[in-house]
């Protein structure tokens, strides 16, 4: 469809783009990325024929760009620039109608039914029909951008060039515009070439990305290859991290602000001072958000949370909608469910066990509540019937250190192994199978880290962190089991 | 629903042409009718009809009336109309091309260029062989064309985006410079002094039919060139890049428009001297009344500009009769405040 071959050029003086080559296939949504001044807009201007190139070739549909007359080119390529100037107060429809210029023939260039249809259709598609008689100077930035998009579409182009199309749009219109572009490229075979500032939007919508650096191609590949942490950091010279998108298989980049690192060591650590027991409730309040991975009733999964609750509920607790009920409860006692990890237990929370472990470069605080009423041997759990009851061994591990993603997962493994060993040593039996239990049917775990101070890359059983967790969880679980068994005996 | 809309739209435009044409007709009739000797409109129509259609006899009309109409008033009104029309359509085109509601032949210095060309012709007593009486307008046109190029080149060198204010400032610089050259020639001149001064003041009086013959071909060519480019002007008022994206051959069309504008300005200046602000006020008013679409803006500007200059001429010769004021004084008295008003409106629009 479009092929750029070793193109060099720019404004007078030094060339802005140097020896650039790439190809775009029909129906592709092709993104151009790069820091400011890397030559994105220059390339787009060359493609649209505004700026001549010094050397190399631009071939569109098998014909060199310079061989097209402006009218011929306008029937193939339409452009939506970043800024459109409007000196006079044309109406929306007059503005959109201008897009038909290239399609009108003859001396009088009369307005045909086909022109009228095309204009009405694109106004419908871009949702501007209702203000077609309004003055464009009175529209908002987003509405005006859509008017000029309609104007470009009225050209009925095969290739649409866009220069940061989402620049003036609020979130919902950004998504709407890109969804539309994506549909048009997939269903109608429209080829879209667009400059993006927002790497995440580009990663979400583009089929392929071209990353420019100082006027040269850094890489031309699929988003997952282009949007690599190291590459983006190097090209953009800034600190970012890459995350998976929660819903679609597209990479997302997030900025890391500098100040998060700056105050690191002055802040308080998490220990028994933050811990508090109330009637039927244990709370740990952190002065700052902790990165968490948990299986709580609220705040589960990974996230950042400040409040940690473990709440006693009776054995007959109605579990039909425990999430909503828990959120309501959190709100009632004056906390924000959005920053709270909440767990439930049928055990009396006064029987909890907690221990603080101080190591040289990091420290760990462990809190466990344990009841073994419905203990289960995991290897034989198929003999159990499934029903949700409030968890009975809830393990909290707070780490004053900086954990990697894998350390979080290893923490969970280490803690689970330690818990199982504690149950084994306490000879807790699965009442159904009669074998030694490995846990209870609804155990819950929380790993929370301050993400400041020492970098702790791993938490396997023989790593420094793993050793503390194994020991801590084992000791606390044993003590908590003993506490609750003592209460039952009484 | 759609049809209804189109019909009212057409009716609006139709009404616009009727209104503008009526305004021009009234202005022309008033211009011919009022003076030291009043002539009734009915007589005017009769005389003109008799002149055009020989089979109508002039039994009841005074020969003095028909003399006044045919030899003094009608040529004067026609000339005023043609000059007004030329300046207005040239102004409308410059405004569209430069995306600048403050542009007109006078504010961007083209009129001064044309004046310099004309004064130079008079000063040196130039005469191109075969061109005869067209020597003066040809030199005016050539100089207006050179001036607009110089102004645009200069403005672009100052600032690539060619902001409204930059172009106006450049125009003022050029006007002053060219004005100084004209003054220099006046100072050096001997016998042609009266001719030059009289011409410079700007007037449509006592020019007779000869001047109408001079301006008509240039007006025809310039106006047709612009009318043919009205769609391109619409596109270019969104910026030259945008126009190119839409499919306009910008370089070619821009050149056509600049040449046409120079022809119109040069010819108008050649026959009447520098008359400012017509090209500014009339397109602006027309745009305000009937929208910015150049397909209608240009023809409507012709009608309105002609009518306006006829009225201005009428005022200039009657307001303190028997003394006649230069017509440029009247247009400037109306035009300069309008210029200020447009500038202020643009400022508040931009900041608000």
Q: Is the dihedral of CA B319, B30, B211, B121 positive or negative?
A: positive
Number of folded domains that form chain A: 2
Rounded Cα distance between B269 and B276, Å, is: 10
Among chain B residues, CA nearest to A88 = B292
- Contact assessment for residue A202 and residue A223, using Cβ atoms and an 8 Å cutoff: yes
The vertex-A255 CA angle with A252 and A260, nearest 5°, equals: 135
Q: What is the mean pLDDT of chain A?
A: 87
Which among A299, A298, A288 is positioned nearest to A259, based on CA atoms? A288
Measured between alpha carbons, how far is residue B178 from residues A104, A406, B119, B181 in Å?
Answer: 43, 79, 11, 5
Q: Do B249 and A102 touch (CB under 8 A)?
A: no
Q: What is the reported pLDDT for B299? A: 96
- CATH number at A10 reads 3.40.50.300
**Pairing assessment for the beta strands A29-33 and A208-213 based on DSSP bridges:** parallel
**A4: enclosing H helix or E strand:** strand A2-9
Say yes or no to pLDDT of A136 above 80.
yes
Q: Kind and range of the H or E element at A309?
A: strand A301-312
Tokens (6 digits) for B123: 């000063």
A38-67 residues touching B, CB cutoff 8 A: 45, 48-50
- Residues of chain B neighbouring A89 (CB-CB closer than 8 A): 291-292
Residue B64's pLDDT is what?
82
Strands A444-449 and A393-400: parallel
Residue at which a domain ends, from A227, A255, A283:
A255
Which one of B242, B247, B290, B297 makes the best mutation probe of the A interface by having the most chain A beta carbons within 10 Å? B247
User: Which of A41, A84, A88, A118 should we substitute to test contact with B (largest number of B Cβ atoms within 10 Å)?
Assistant: A88
Residues A243 and A270 in one domain: no
The pLDDT of residue B326: 81
Instruction: Tell me: do A273 and A190 sit in the same domain.
Output: no
In a domain, B178, yes or no: yes
| A134 at B interface, C-beta within 8 A | no
Residue B300 reports pLDDT greater than 90: yes
Residue B73 within a domain: no
Q: pLDDT tens digits, residue range B35-88?
A: 888 888 888 888 888 888 777 666 666 778 888 888 888 999 999 999 999 999
pLDDT at B7 over 60: no
Residues of B in contact with A72 (CB under 8 A): 247
Residues A285 and A371 reside in one and the same domain: yes
Asked whether residue B202 is assigned to any structural domain, the reply reads yes
Q: For residue A10, give the DSSP letter.
A: -
Q: How far is B322 from A322, CA to CA, in rounded Å?
A: 101
ipTM rounded to 2 decimals: 0.81
Paired sense of beta strands A77-80 and A63-64, if any = unpaired
Among B residues 83-102, those touching chain A with beta carbons less than 8 Å apart:
96, 99-101
Same structural domain for residues A75 and A170?
Answer: yes
Task: Give residue B3's pLDDT.
Answer: 45
- If you average pLDDT over residues B166-176, what whole number do you get? 85
In DSSP terms, A356 is beta-bridged to A365
- Among residues A156, A193, A178, A188, the alpha carbon closest in space to that of A47 is found at A193
Buried b (16+ CB within 10 A) or exposed e, B292-330: bbbebbbbbbbbbbbbbbbbbbbbbbeeeeeeebbbbbb
Check whether A461 has a pLDDT greater than 60. Answer: yes
Tell whether B234 is covered by a domain.
yes
Angle between helices B164-188 and B110-124 (to 10 degrees): 20
Phi, psi of A7 (to 5 degrees): -85, 130
Express each pLDDT in A363-398 by its tens digit: 999 999 988 777 788 887 777 766 555 558 999 999
A84 in contact with B, Cβ within 8 Å? yes
Cβ atoms of B89 and B105 closer than 8 Å: no
CATH number, position A273: 3.60.70
B292 touches chain A (CB under 8 A): yes
Secondary structure class of A346 (helix, strand, coil): coil
* A91 and A179 together in one domain: yes
Contact A70 B292 (CB under 8 A): no
- Is A220 in the same domain as A324? no
What local confidence, expressed as pLDDT, does residue A484 receive? 84
- For residues A295 and A376, state if they share a domain: yes
Q: How many Cβ pairs closer than 8 A exist between chain A and B?
A: 78
| Residues A450 and A479 both lie in one domain | yes
What is the DSSP secondary-structure string of B66-79?
HHIIIIIIHHHHHH
Q: Give me the half-sphere count of Cα atoms (radius 13 Å) on the Cβ side of residue B196.
A: 23
Confidence of residue A403 (pLDDT cuts 50, 70, 90): very high
pLDDT tens per residue, range A42-87 = 999 899 888 888 888 999 998 999 899 999 999 999 999 887 777 7
Interface check B235 vs A, CB under 8 A: yes
Tell me if A50 and B244 make a contact (CB, 8 A cut-off).
yes
Residue in A49, A88, A102 nearest the CB of B287: A88
B207 within a domain of the structure (yes/no): yes
The answer to whether residues A395 and A477 touch, using CB atoms and an 8 Å cutoff, is yes
Q: Are residues A268 and A248 in the same domain?
A: no
CATH code where residue B213 lies:
1.10.3470.10
A175 with A296, same domain: the answer is no
Residue A445: beta bridge partners?
Answer: A395
Strands ordered across the beta sheet of A29-33: A77-80, A159-163, A191-195, A29-33, A208-213, A216-221
Question: Are A101 and B247 inside 8 Å of each other by CB?
Answer: yes
Residues A298 and A318 in one domain: yes
Closest chain A residue to the Cα of B161, Cα to Cα: A85
φ and ψ of A395, to 5 deg: -115, 125
Last residue of a domain, one of A255, A284, A313: A255
- Structural domain including B208 reads 84-351
Contacts of B96 in chain A (CB under 8 A): 88
| Same domain flag for A407 and A460 | yes
User: Does the residue B4 lie in any domain?
Assistant: no
Residues 145-204 of B with CB under 8 A from A: none
Number of domains in chain B: 1
Give the range of the structural domain holding residue A244, as residue numbers without chain letter: 2-255
Answer whether A30's CB lies under 8 Å from A40's CB: no
Q: Is A315 on the interface with B (CB under 8 A)?
A: no
Residue ending a domain, choose from A255, A273, A306: A255
Predicted local confidence at residue A82, as pLDDT: 82
CB contact under 8 A, B293 and A71: no
Ramachandran class of A6: left when φ > 0, alpha when ψ lies in -120 to 50, beta otherwise: left
In a domain, B2, yes or no: no
């Amino acid at each position: 469809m479009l092929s750029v071959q070793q193109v060099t050029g720019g404004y007078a003086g030094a060339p802005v783009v140097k020896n650039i080559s790439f190809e775009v296939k029909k129906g592709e949504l092709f993104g151009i990325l790069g820091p400011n001044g890397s030559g994105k807009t220059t390339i787009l201007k060359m493609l649209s024929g505004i700026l001549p190139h010094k050397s190399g070739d631009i071939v569109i549909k098998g014909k060199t760009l310079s061989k097209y007359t402006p009218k011929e080119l306008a029937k193939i390529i339409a452009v939506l620039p970043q800024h459109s100037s409007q000196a006079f107060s044309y109406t929306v429809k007059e503005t959109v109608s201008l897009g038909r210029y290239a399609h009108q023939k003859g001396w009088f260039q009369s307005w045909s039914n086909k022109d009228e249809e095309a204009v009405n259709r694109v106004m419908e598609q871009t949702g501007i029909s209702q203000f077609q008689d309004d003055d464009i100077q009175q529209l908002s930035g987003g509405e005006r951008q859509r008017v000029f998009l309609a104007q470009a579409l009225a050209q009925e182009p095969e290739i649409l060039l866009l220069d940061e199309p989402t620049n003036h749009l609020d979130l919902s219109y950004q998504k709407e515009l890109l969804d539309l572009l994506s549909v048009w490229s997939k269903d109608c075979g429209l080829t879209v070439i667009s400059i993006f500032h927002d790497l995440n939007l580009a990663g979400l919508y583009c089929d392929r990305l071209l990353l420019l650096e100082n006027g040269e191609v850094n890489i031309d590949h699929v988003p997952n290859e282009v949007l690599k942490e190291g590459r983006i950091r190097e090209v953009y010279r800034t600190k970012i991290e890459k995350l998976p998108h929660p819903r679609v298989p597209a990479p997302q980049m997030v900025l890391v602000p500098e100040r998060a690192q700056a105050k690191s060591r002055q802040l308080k650590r998490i220990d028994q001072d933050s811990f508090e027991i109330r009637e039927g409730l244990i709370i740990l309040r952190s002065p700052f958000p902790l990165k968490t991975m948990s299986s709580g009733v609220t705040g589960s999964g990974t996230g950042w949370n400040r409040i940690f609750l473990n709440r006693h509920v009776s054995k007959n607790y109605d579990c039909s909608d425990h999430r909503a009920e828990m959120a309501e409860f959190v709100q009632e006692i004056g906390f924000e469910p959005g920053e709270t990890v909440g767990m439930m237990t049928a055990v009396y929370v006064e029987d909890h066990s907690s221990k603080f472990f101080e190591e040289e470069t990091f420290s760990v605080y462990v809190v466990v509540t344990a009841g073994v009423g419905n203990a289960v041997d995991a290897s034989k759990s198929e003999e159990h019937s499934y029903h949700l009851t409030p968890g009975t061994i809830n393990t909290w591990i707070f780490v004053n250190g900086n954990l990697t993603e894998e350390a979080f997962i290893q923490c969970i493994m280490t803690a689970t192994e330690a818990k199982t060993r504690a149950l084994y040593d306490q000879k807790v039996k699965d009442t159904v199978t009669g074998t030694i239990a490995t846990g209870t049917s609804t155990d819950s775990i929380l790993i929370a880290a301050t993400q400041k101070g020492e970098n702790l890359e791993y938490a396997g059983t023989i790593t420094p962190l793993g050793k503390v967790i194994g020991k801590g969880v084992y000791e606390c679980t044993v003590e908590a089991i003993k506490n609750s068994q003592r209460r039952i005996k009484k | 629903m759609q049809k209804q809309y189109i019909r009212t739209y057409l009716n609006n435009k139709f009404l616009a042409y009727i209104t503008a044409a009526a305004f021009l007709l009234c202005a022309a009739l008033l211009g011919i009718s009022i003076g030291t000797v009043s002539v009734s409109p009915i007589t005017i129509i009769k005389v003109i009809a008799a002149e055009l259609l020989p089979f109508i006899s002039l039994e009841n009309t005074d020969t003095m009336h028909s003399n006044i109409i045919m030899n003094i008033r009608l040529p004067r009104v026609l000339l005023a109309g043609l000059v007004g029309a030329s300046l207005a359509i040239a102004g409308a085109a410059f405004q569209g091309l430069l995306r600048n509601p403050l542009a007109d032949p006078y504010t961007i210095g083209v009129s001064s260029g044309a004046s310099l060309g004309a004064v130079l012709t008079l000063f040196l007593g130039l005469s191109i062989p075969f061109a005869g009486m067209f020597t003066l307008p040809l030199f005016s046109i050539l100089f207006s064309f050179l001036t607009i190029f110089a102004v645009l080149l200069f403005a672009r060198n100052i600032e690539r985006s060619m902001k409204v204010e930059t172009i106006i400032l450049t125009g003022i610089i050029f006007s002053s410079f060219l004005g100084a050259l004209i003054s220099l020639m006046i100072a050096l001149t001997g016998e042609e002094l009266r001719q030059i001064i009289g011409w410079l003041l700007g007037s449509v009086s006592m020019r007779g039919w000869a001047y109408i013959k001079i301006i008509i071909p240039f007006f025809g060519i310039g106006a047709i060139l612009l009318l043919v480019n009205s769609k391109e002007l619409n596109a270019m008022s969104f910026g030259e890049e945008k126009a190119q994206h839409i499919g306009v051959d910008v370089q070619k069309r821009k050149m056509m428009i600049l040449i046409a504008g120079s022809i119109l300005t040069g010819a108008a200046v050649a026959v009447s001297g520098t008359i400012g602000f017509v090209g500014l006020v009339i397109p602006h008013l027309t745009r305000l009344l009937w929208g910015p679409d150049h397909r209608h803006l240009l023809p409507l500007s012709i009608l309105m500009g002609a009518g306006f200059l006829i009225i201005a001429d009428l005022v200039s010769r009657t307001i303190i009769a028997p003394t006649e004021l230069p017509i440029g004084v009247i247009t400037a008295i109306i035009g300069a405040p309008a210029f200020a008003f447009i500038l202020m409106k643009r400022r508040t629009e931009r900041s608000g």
